[in-house]
Structure 1
Amino acid sequence: MDKVRIGVVGIGNMGSAHAKYLAAGDVPNAELTAVCDINPKRLEWARDNLGEHIKLFENAEAMFESKAVDAVIIATPHYDHPPLAISAFKRGLHVLIEKPAGVYTKQVREMNEVAEKSGKVFGIMYNQRTNPVYQKLRDLVKSGELGEIKRINWIITNWYRSQSYYDSGGWRATWAGEGGGVLINQCPHNLDLWQWICGMPRRVRAFCHYGKYHDIEVEDDVTAYMEYENGATGVFITTTGEAPGTNRFEIAGDRGKIVVEEGKLTFWRLRVSERQFNREYKGGFGSPECWKCEIPVHGVETAHRGITTNWVNAILKGTPLLAPGVEGIYGLTISNAMHLSSWLDDWVEIPFDEDLFYQKLKERIDSSKFKKDKKEDKILDVEGTY
C-alpha cells in the first residue's frame, strides 16, 4: 500500500474540517475516499464540497463493510467513539479518533483491548502534542533538567462559553449528550498534556460546580487538587464562565520552575538544586542562585493535519505515533477521578472503581434533559449530524 484511503465518520464541525484538508491533499500519501453521516443535509454538503468521487454513506457500518477505505477518522459525539472504533478494528481498519477517547474509562479500556489485538494503527487527535512549546516543556521535565517535580499548577480559564453556545444544541452540556462539561469537552487536551508531561497522579480531590455560570446540568467550574507518589502536588483550575481567562502552566522542580504562558516558555533555573542548597547552606536567610532563561522553541504547531500525517506515516512506514490512541485513557482517568471525587465529596485514589463511576454517571444520564434517540441510538448535534 502506497496510499491510505481514508473515510471520515461524522461530518459535523470537526469531521468536516478533517474531510476538507484531506480532500485538498494536505496530508501526503492519504486520500479521502468516503464520508458518513446520518444527516442527509450533511451528505449533500459533502457532495457539493468534497467532490463527486467521494463515496457517501448513511451509517458507519456500511462504510466499514464497503472496502472503500483502509482507515477511518471518527469525529462523532463522545459516547460513540469507542463502539465505532471497536467496530472498525473488527473489520480490519486503522482508526484515528477525535478527543476525548470516550466518556468513561471502562468503555475506553475495552476499546484499547480490541485495538491492541487488531494489530491496526490506533491514534487519537491530541493535536496539542504537536505544539513545540509543550514538546520542549516535556523534554525539559523528562530529561531531568528541572529535577524532581514538586508542584504543578495549571490555570486554564480561557475556555469562555456564552449561554447561546450551550443553547445551540439540545445535547450540549448534558450528561446524556456529552457526558460532562468543561472537563470532558474543553479540557481533554489540557489533561492529556498534564499527564504526558508530568505523569499520572496518585489521588485526586476535586470540587466541581454544576451550572454555576450557565443554565446547564454539567460542570462549568472546577478546582482540583492532586497528589503524586513522590509527594508532588498539583492544582488544576478551569471554567467556561470567566472573561478574560488565563492560560498559565507552571511546574516547580528541585532545580527551578518552568512557566508556559502566552506561547512562551520561561525557565527560572537554579544553579544548585534546592535540596542540595537546603542541606549545605549555613547563612540563615538566603536562596539558591537563579537564572531566568528564555527557552528557545523551534518548529511550528502542525495541529490536526500533523496528527493525521503522523498517523498515515505510522500506517505506511511504521513511524512511531505522537499520540497513540491507547493513551487517551490517561487524561480521561484524571477527568473521571475529578468527577467522581466531586460526586462522592471525597478523595479518589487512582486507579478508581470504574463500576462505581459508571453507576454514578448512569444516574445522571437517566435524569438528563437530553435523551438519546432510541431508534437510531445516535446523538445529534446542532446541525443534526453525528
Structure 2
Amino acid sequence: MGSDERFVIVGGGLAAAKLAEALRANDFPGSITLLAAEEWLPYERPPLSKEHMAGKKQLAEFTVHPRQWYRDHRVEVRVGTTVEGIDPARKTVALPDGSTLSYDKLALATGSTPRTLSIPGADAPNVYTLRSIEDSDTLIEFFAGAAQRLVIIGAGWIGLEVAAAARAADLAVTIVETADQPLLAALGPEMGEVFAELHRSNGVDLRLGAQVTEITTTEGIGTRLASGVKLADDSVIEAEAVLIAVGARPNIDLAADAGLDVDGGVLVDEHLATSDPDIVAVGDIAEQRHPVLDRRIRVEHWANALNQPAVAAATMLGKEASYDRLPYFFTDQYDLGMEYTGYAASGDYERVVTRGDVGKREFVAFWLDADNKVLAGMNVNVWDVTDRIKELILSGEPVDPEALADTSKPL
C-alpha cells in the first residue's frame, strides 16, 4: 500500500468512523476520505432511543471521535455530502456538486432509513420516525411540551424503547402492532410475552393484532396535524403525535445502481468483500455469508457496526480476515436490561428454556433446536454470562434442557 492511494468511506455512522480508525491502526499510509450525508461527525445511534432520549447523554458523548481526532489521523471528513453514484469501472464516486472523487478502495457504510406507511395522514408534520439526532431531539421536545398522548405504530426495538422514554416523561402511550406479540420476529412468542407484560405493567396501552388504516388529522396553524390513528375496526385512538416505528430499509440503492450483487442487503463474503473486490460493505447493509452460522444474515445492530470495520479494513489492505462474531444486541427499557447473543430465526428453534425467575424479570432464556443445541441466549437483568452463552452456542454440543434450567447447576 502506497501513500498515494486513496480509500473512500461512504457513511456517517459508527461503522464509517471505526473503519477509518481501523485503517490507520493497520498503518495505511494513504489518504482517507469519509463522506457523511448528515451535518454531524459520525455518531452512534443506540443512544437516540436510550440515554439521549432519557436526558442522560448529549451528542458529544456519543460522537465516535472528536474533530481533532480526524485531523490528527489525517482523515478528511466531508459532512453534508450525499454520494449520488458509484462508477466501479472508473473507480469514482459522484458528489452532489457534480464532481467526482476517485478511489483505490471503497467502503460502503450507508446504514438504513426508517420505513414509513402509505396511509392517509402519514405525511403530517407531527408524524415522526427515529433515525437521526434531529429526530431524537424533536421527540424530546415533544415529551417536554404540553402534549399528553403519543401513539406508536410498531412494537419493535425502537417503538418499545421510545415508549419507555415517553412513559418516563409521564405521557399516555399507546402502541399498535399488527403481530400477536411485541418483537415477534426477533424473539418469538415466548419472549415477546415478557416485553408485552413489561410495557403493560408500566402503563402502556398495547394493542396487538391491530392494523392502522389511517392517521387522522385536524386543522393546525397553516397545515393539518395528526390527531390520532384509526384502526381497521374503525376505532380511533387520539394523540398529539404519532411515531412510525415499523422497521428500517437498508440503504442499498447506491450498491445496486453500481451493479453490485444485492438481495435484502449488499451481498458480502466472510471477508466483507462485495462482488467487486475493491469494494467492501459493513453495518446495516451487509448481508454476509457467516462462517460460523453457515448462512447469510443481515443484522441491524450496534455490535456489527462496531466490530465489522476491523475485518473490512484488513480486507481493503489485502490482509486475511473474516467476520465470525455471533450476532449481539441489547436494550434497556424501564427496569429491564437485556443482552441477546446468537441467532434463532423463526422456524429454526424447537423450544425456549428459561433459567431463573421470569416473573421478576431476572432470568436467562435459551433457544434450542430439535437436537437440543443452543442457538441463542438472552440474559435479562442477569449479568456476566454472555461469554458462557457464546461458549454453549459455539460448542455445537447438545445440552440437557432440565440441567440448563436448573439454577443450582453452573452454566
TM-score range, shorter chain: 0.3 to 0.5
Whose relative contact order is higher, 1 or 2, with alpha carbons under 8 Å and at least 6 apart? Answer: 1
Q: Which has the higher strand share?
A: 2
Q: What's the TM-score once normalised by structure 2's chain length?
A: 0.31
Q: What's the TM-score once normalised by structure 1's chain length?
A: 0.32
Q: Which has the higher helix share?
A: 1
